[in-house]
Amino acid sequence: MHFLFFVVLVYSSLVLSAQDQEGPQLPVILDHADSLVGIGPPESGVREFWGNVRFTQGNVTITCDRAVYTSSTNSAELFGRVIVHQGNVLVSAPFISYNGETHIADASRGIKVEEGASIITADKGQYSTITHVSTFIDHAIAVDDSIRIWSDTLVFDRDADTSLASGRVVISDSAGSAWLSGDMAFRDNRSRYTRISGHAAAWQWDSTDHPDTIYVAADTLVMTRQENENGYVALSHVRLVRSSVSALADTMLYSSVRGDFDLRGHPILWSDSLLLVADTINALAPDRKLSSVIGRSNALLVSRSDTLNLDRFDQISGESIVLTIADDTVRQLSAIGRAQSITFRSDGTRPEGLAKVASDTIRAMFQQGQLTDVYWLGGIEGEHHPEPVVAGRADTYRLPGFVWRTDRPFMIKPVAPFTATMTKAGDPPKVKAVNQRKR
């Protein structure tokens, strides 16, 4: 987008006196006006141009219904159907003014800027000829052939080649398959760095045969691009949702080349009825298809398989836990290194105690998200606790670090442009915990 470039061309042409400019200036030529009214001497008077006014300065053309130039303040006002045209840049507004003392050009009654396929509209527009910063205020919308931006304010810095959108920011690609929202969005075009902060959220729709939505929310989202790789970082209060998989973490990193998600800082991942906690959790999703999840260091998997006895949780722990996933459903588990398990047993309707086993490795199979078969490999030590011993004491059978959380994040619909409320988007419900895991 070259929106910054037009501003210099447009507003510099409004400065009918070039006393504050360096170097030779092209003359401003009055091509036509139905009438001209002059008041006072040329150096301090006022000149008014009425009816079908047309000025040119080099390849810049300005037309309007009326123009007023005040020599003493080096200020100009253009009224009625104002159009500024240079090359493929077209600026239209009902009113544009320039203040020579503040060096601010102001379109206070609405503005539209077109450059090829790129368009910016806003209720107000300002530009500083000193700082080269342009500002679009109230209902600012920027559209081109690849992106759409809505915000309360858009600021472009031509010299730094940066842009800043603030207030009810919504961004989407032209196809509508990716949406972002937040309180503020910053873009550095030179480094190809983008940061969205304040209730930041992102949605991505897959274009596969089985379309799905990935939803990520955090206090801050950062996007970078280097060669053929897109990198994403979510910071603070991270929530991730895709199909039957949800996660919470302090930080999330994603690489488009490797197709993996790294969840760090007290991560928790839910898949169907399973809950996984570990020091770090890595989710592998090549070609955007989740294939495995790895919990590294102090990993613990918990599932509630007994819907009648809600204090009974099957548990497996290890130095690491690997979940094999197909069609967004866990199919197999491997707990490696000092593995332990607690498995509650029943005949379908009646509880029958539990088995507590330790081994080098545990492998487990799942059907429809429920634990079915468990295998213990190497250095096996086990014990059986009959139901009379377990009854009434099920909540005392917990592996170290046990936690059961119900604050699972949920999918939020993308925020519509200029809606009144964004601050609650993606916020999870209040936390409920059982035997909170300690770090």
Dihedral sign (CA 121, 124, 129, 131): negative
Looking at the domain assignment, is residue 39 inside a domain?
yes
Read off the amino acid at residue 326. Answer: A
**Quick one: pLDDT band at residue 24, thresholds 50, 70, 90?**
low
Q: CB count, 10 Å around CB of 214?
A: 21
Read off the amino acid at residue 37. Answer: V
For 333-352, the pLDDT digits (tens) are 999 999 999 999 888 778 99
**Quick one: pLDDT band at residue 197, thresholds 50, 70, 90?**
very high
E-assigned strands of 189-264?
193-205, 213-226, 229-242, 245-255, 260-264
Read off the amino acid at residue 153. Answer: T
User: What is the distance between the alpha carbons of residues 171 and 173, in angstroms, rounded to a whole number?
Assistant: 7
Mean pLDDT over 143-158 rounds to 90
For 173-185, the pLDDT digits (tens) are 888 888 999 999 9
Q: Is the pLDDT of residue 436 over 70?
A: no
Looking at the domain assignment, is residue 278 inside a domain?
no
Mean pLDDT, rounded, of the chain: 84
Q: At 414, is the secondary structure helix, strand, or coil?
A: coil
**Quick one: pLDDT band at residue 367, thresholds 50, 70, 90?**
confident
User: What is the distance between the alpha carbons of residues 129 and 131, in angstroms, rounded to a whole number?
Assistant: 6
H or E stretch covering 112: strand 111-115
Any idea which residue has 């964004």 for tokens? 422
Q: Is the pLDDT of residue 3 over 60?
A: no
Looking at the domain assignment, is residue 65 inside a domain?
yes
Mean pLDDT over 211-227 rounds to 86
pLDDT confidence of residue 206: 67
H or E stretch covering 188: strand 178-188
Looking at the domain assignment, is residue 109 inside a domain?
yes
Kindly write down the DSSP assignment for every residue of 338-382, as one continuous string.
Answer: EEEEEEEEESSSSEEEEEEEEEEEEEEEEETTEEEEEEEESS-EE
pLDDT confidence of residue 423: 35
Any idea what DSSP says for residue 287? G
Mean pLDDT over 237-262 rounds to 89
Q: How many domains does the chain have?
A: 1
Give the Cα-Cα-Cα angle 180, 182, 184 (nearest 5 degrees).
115
Q: What percent of the chain has pLDDT above 70?
A: 87
Any idea what DSSP says for residue 286? G
Looking at the domain assignment, is residue 269 inside a domain?
no
Looking at the domain assignment, is residue 37 inside a domain?
yes
Do 335 and 323 touch, CB atoms closer than 8 A?
Answer: no
Looking at the domain assignment, is residue 281 inside a domain?
no
H or E stretch covering 388: helix 387-390
Q: Is the pTM for the entire model greater than 0.85?
A: no
Q: What is the 3-state secondary structure (H, E, C) of 139-164?
A: EEEEECCCEEEEEEEEEEECCCCEEE
pLDDT confidence of residue 246: 92
- Domain range for 9 is 1-160
CATH value at residue 78: 2.60.450.10
Looking at the domain assignment, is residue 366 inside a domain?
no
Distance of CA 204 to the CA centre of its chain: 10
Q: At 430, is the secondary structure helix, strand, or coil?
A: coil
Q: Which of 67-76, 156-165, 366-375 has the lowest mean pLDDT?
A: 366-375
User: If we measure between CA atoms, which residue out of 229, 293, 272, 222 comes closest to residue 251?
Assistant: 222
First to last CA, the chain: 47
Do 266 and 250 touch, CB atoms closer than 8 A?
Answer: yes
Q: Is the pLDDT of residue 23 over 60?
A: no
For 291-332, the pLDDT digits (tens) are 899 999 999 999 887 778 889 999 999 999 999 988 778 889
